Structure 1
């Protein structure tokens, strides 16, 4: 009764009372052996569990000595204890002895089947499955046999058998961990067929049957994978962390953390950083080489959080020893004298040629270019544009087609109010990619600054067409062009002004621009480039867009009262309030 209630300590006390009266009482010996075995099945401390299994084995031996002709089932306990103690050959002998005495003992068949399967050899797997099949034939509701057969048929792709066997197992199993295995088999069957909703439900059911991940970690991993597919990144991260607690060096968990981190970079930078740092810790604990992409993305996320010192350290770790950088920063000074605002400086490669002539290797592997570019962006953020410009020119020296480096040099020149030099550098970029929307948008901005309105309009239109109208920045710029064209100080035809207002309104209210106006997050490629200047300008334009809406309403009322009344309805006003917030 105490065993049935789970009160093993009280049960042990009662059996000891019986054994105190009769030390050869077989029933008490067998029961006490079971209590000792079951009491340590959930024991976390290995040594305590081993001692308990040894005591259990001693009780079974005493029972056999007291009653040598006891049924074969009594010898099962000896096999279980031997197995738990790692004495596999003796365990196998014990199970075979049970079958000698009782050929249809399903527990012995299942135990031997599991031991055969664990050899991971073709012959052993075949023998193991034959024993499982035999146990199933003897008793079709044997839960262990059902689960192992379902597992086998999963790998052979016979999913209808997996589902039948698992559903049968669930109808007869009461043990929590066994039910967890059954739900897991069912979940991964649906998972492999692409039915993520059902797979998620069954993974969740499996997890609920488990007291702690150490008992059975696979459902947590499967659930994390499904949540990853369904976009539930936070919970996926939590489940992968539970797997990592059990298997801290798991290659699969490492891949999951890295994939999850890259996906979260766009939506939840904080969670992305946690995920990528977990992957980094796994690699470092295992003494594995850390991919430069992983360090690069961690550096990007630190940059996004404003933790510039950590970002710098991470980028430097990713780059490794780049000894020539310090030489570049030291030697650059003589080049700056008298050339700070000239085309010669920002397009000059003399420094790099001289270093190579001096025998200094300027080796820059392709896989480090993005990280070096990001490091330069960090230097820009820290207001160290001179060093940043040297790095951009180094990238162009080694990889002349790296368009983004031209654009960053152009941005530095623009910041120094050297518009003509900035335009020259952007045109250098357009020689490489004449449809680069970033370059075209920057060029259009600069053309507006020098009052070249017609060119700016054509440039913004080219930027918009280069992305089939999907670049909200270019669309906003074109809208602003029409707005400013209508608002210019010189007097114009009122109908022409109204046309410009209507065109501006049309561009501002395009679907993609509304997304931007609702607070479109800064886009970031998986490579982790920190090309943010364009997006920062876009946000400024979005704020200008609201003011333009209000002015368009004011100035176009005399000409298009009905149209304005329709466009600026309650829904649009709500939209504008969201932008303001």
Structure 2
């Protein structure tokens, strides 16, 4: 119901009353009203009021126009009040809604335009009041529209921090949480909204039910939707959602009654919302399950037209994709178109709802049909990123990758995850014996196929395991394939006759199983021919050529188009003409391959130079009539011109340049063509551009490490550039890896020969000789090697002759002479041959004569060296004798010097002892004189008197009577007499010891003088 809006007139007490029911589709009337607001300078909030009414009436254009006029007037008049900010907020939200309603890729510019306008309006509001809550809310919605979910969560959280009960902020937060798949948080947010506003429209119970459903709480989800329907029985969204829950549950439970109830709810929902996209999707899905694919598509298109949500649109596109997908193959004439449409629908669904694993899985299947296996694997990996234990997706991914060598590593990884998941589901304990095993026979066969190159033992174990499962289930179609594959593995890796016997046994079992079917259209019957061909290859491998030939011809009688049989028959015969006859029979089956093989046959047939011309013409026919970019033909023509250049030295440069053109074209066609790039390098080397050739071969070698021919060519060029050490390194590296040792040894001998000749180094020539001898042991019948052997021995003798006299020995020269004599015999023998291969007979004859000349020189050098060595020996002997004489004299002088020194030391020691003895005697005399003097002094009376007086005084001092003192004195005198001799002796000994100590530690003046004078002497 409408209402009246009053527009006050300025400076008047009058108002203009507008009945909103009169607002309609009349653009002129609507424009007039909006002009009145501007002309009469009406309050800004009236622009908002009219915008609300236009919105109620569904007139989006005038909603936008009213808000834009209000915003323009506010900016012009410099108004910064709350009403102006509300207008800016509302207009920004309007633009955000317009942007989110655009989902078509071709309308991306319009969407960007709306987003830009909304952003500009928000910037204007922030300049007025950056802390306004509604600014944060609108900013959060803008982030959400741009899929910046984390930023939108922050914006809404900021708004709720200021106003925790702001419903708009809560609704935005809930939407952002749903978008980020944080369903628990979203559930709490919508429950809070319901608490704050139970009557809110749209009903928050629907969002609550969706959260419960995503959390796998199906009963709670059903309750929430039921409550919404109870409060509003005509709500089509609520009816559609509860119908969806019951629909899904009835399919899980296979409950027809529940399904009928769900269908009834869909019908009711359709009555109240014929344009409701959710309802239309349910109806479309119903048509899909009933097989009414056309009706399903029509209804889904209607849902897309009415949907305002990417998720809902994605669901509609998904239903259309499934309908089209199932129709692929029903009508062969329309399959291609249906397939393209299905691929397009899945792509749109996946783009609108990237988190859906269903659409990614469907899109992956479409890419399989289209042959874009890498894209299909990418889709399946997206599914597994969200659902790592999706068994069906793992099987698909593993199966696809198993058919492509480049995806083999991924396939093994998928199989590993599959095995882990199956063991987890079956509670099976892992074991080392389980490597390469799988419980399903088909997947087991695919897994075994992956291991065929990397680990044949595991592949064989896998095929045998698959065979045991199939035999237990009596599923013989795939068993035929597996039996054939087991036989092929035994055949391919056969080392003994028992391996060939095992292969033949499995081939025979496979053939019996295949021939048991009478239906020539069955897969088993088709395998029969392949098995027969494999058996023929086996007989060829074990040398049963007649039987193999018979089997190949038998296959051709039944299947004249079996091209490989022609090739095998051609390769079995040693006669080029017969071989080419078989190849020509294959021309009507596979002309290009036959021509390529025919050209190769002519190229390898050296019986006539004309064959080179025929070979070139055959390859040219391939380029002209079959494939002008065939790299094999291009490279072979290049090789032919190189061969012609060697036969025609006068026009060599012309032919090499022609070869370079073809090799260069082959590389341009395929930049990874190693053979073409190698040809380019060879041509550059032949033209003398060795540095450029080296660069080419170096680059090729980086991508072809295991190709010996590239290393050999690089070594050839390095030799020409004088980088012999590097060349030797490359030759020796190839020698360890290649079976063609004879040629490499020849090359190695050549580079050592060059070093020896350049540096006059006999050691390098001996290394060259060693290489030639090893090559002869590998191929003793090759005359060219014997020529090289003779040449090296001859040159070794020449180098030894050229050595300076002091660097050569008679023994070395004699060895060289022996080699020279052998060289002469070899050259003589080779010069007598009528047909020579790999050497010039005339040169051999000349070399034989030259050997005689070198021999004479060698004999002369031996004589000179003998004389020199004798003279040198005599000189050395004389020098040695002189050295011995000098050494003897020196030794005698040393001995004499030592004896003299010893004598001097002995004299000094004797003198020292004499001096010491004399000092001792002097000290003794001095001591005796001192003792005598003391005795004489003791005999003097004055001293005795004095002593007696002192004794008396001492006695008096004791305080004893005189008689007692006298007696005591007598006893003391008597005792002194008894001990007098002993004390005297001790005293003397003590003095002797003191004297000795004095002599050792501190000699007397007299002694020192004597010693000093002795030293002076």
Is the structural similarity TM-score above 0.5?
Answer: yes
8 A Cα contact 2:598 2:618, kept in partner = no
Task: Give the counterpart of 1:116 among 217, 222, 246.
Answer: 246
SS in 1 for 2:589: coil
Tell me the distance in 2 between the aligned counterparts of 1:70 and 1:474: 80
1:509 corresponds to 2:621: yes
In structure 1, the residue matched to 2:353 is 210
8 A Cα contact 1:377 1:388, kept in partner = yes
Tell me the distance in 1 between the aligned counterparts of 2:461 and 2:399: 23
1:580 corresponds to 2:580: no
In structure 1, the residue matched to 2:503 is 392
1:441 corresponds to 2:567: yes
Task: Give the counterpart of 1:140 among 244, 250, 274.
Answer: 274
TM-score under structure 2 length normalisation = 0.38
Q: CA deviation at 1:226?
A: 2.3
TM-score under structure 1 length normalisation = 0.62
8 A Cα contact 1:296 1:315, kept in partner = no
Q: CA deviation at 1:271?
A: 2.3
Write out per-residue CA displacement over residues 37-89 of structure 1, whole angstroms, 9 at most, x where no aligned residue: 546435667xxx4476367547746866xxxx999946556655665665545
In structure 2, the residue matched to 1:201 is 344
8 A Cα contact 1:153 1:161, kept in partner = yes
8 A Cα contact 1:444 1:457, kept in partner = yes
SS in 1 for 2:237: helix
Tell me the distance in 2 between the aligned counterparts of 1:73 and 1:424: 87
Task: Give the counterpart of 1:219 among 359, 382, 401.
Answer: 359
Tell me the distance in 1 between the aligned counterparts of 2:361 and 2:554: 46
1:131 corresponds to 2:131: no
Q: CA deviation at 1:239?
A: 0.6
In structure 2, the residue matched to 1:403 is 532
Q: CA deviation at 1:216?
A: 1.0
Mean CA deviation greater in 125-134 or 143-152: 125-134
Equivalences, count: 460
In structure 2, the residue matched to 1:488 is 607
Matches within 5 A, 1:299-448: 300-301=449-450, 308=454, 310-320=455-465, 366-376=480-490, 379=493, 384=495, 388-395=499-506, 398=509, 402-410=531-539, 412-413=541-542, 421-427=543-549, 429-430=551-552, 433-435=555-557, 437-448=563-574
Q: CA deviation at 1:237?
A: 1.3
In structure 1, the residue matched to 2:406 is 270
Task: Please give the root-mean-square deviation of Cα atoms over the aligned residues, in Å.
Answer: 5.0
Q: CA deviation at 1:106?
A: 1.9
Tell me the distance in 1 between the aligned counterparts of 2:554 and 2:446: 27
Label 1:442 to 1:81 Cα distance change in 2 as closer, same or farther (>3 A): closer
SS in 1 for 2:573: helix
Task: Give the counterpart of 1:261 among 401, 409, 418.
Answer: 401
Write out per-residue CA displacement over residues 314-364 of structure 1, whole angstroms, 9 at most, x where no aligned residue: 4334334999xxxxxxxxxxxxxxxxxxxxxxxxxxxxxxxxxxxxxxxxx
Label 1:135 to 1:457 Cα distance change in 2 as closer, same or farther (>3 A): same
Task: Give the counterpart of 1:237 among 370, 373, 377.
Answer: 377
Label 1:231 to 1:133 Cα distance change in 2 as closer, same or farther (>3 A): same
Label 1:42 to 1:407 Cα distance change in 2 as closer, same or farther (>3 A): same
Tell me the distance in 1 between the aligned counterparts of 2:229 and 2:242: 10
Relative to its length, the structure with more helix (as a share) is 2
Label 1:132 to 1:30 Cα distance change in 2 as closer, same or farther (>3 A): farther
In structure 2, the residue matched to 1:346 is none
Tell me the distance in 2 between the aligned counterparts of 1:260 and 1:222: 15
Task: Give the counterpart of 2:232 among 102, 114, 118.
Answer: 102
8 A Cα contact 2:580 2:601, kept in partner = yes
Write out per-residue CA displacement over residues 385-417 of structure 1, whole angstroms, 9 at most, x where no aligned residue: 66643443443565678435544445545xxxx
Write out per-residue CA displacement over residues 500-553 of structure 1, whole angstroms, 9 at most, x where no aligned residue: 96698357624799559835xxxxxxxxxxxxxxxxxxx7x9965654588899
Label 1:501 to 1:86 Cα distance change in 2 as closer, same or farther (>3 A): closer
In structure 2, the residue matched to 1:285 is 421
Tell me the distance in 2 between the aligned counterparts of 1:139 and 1:172: 11
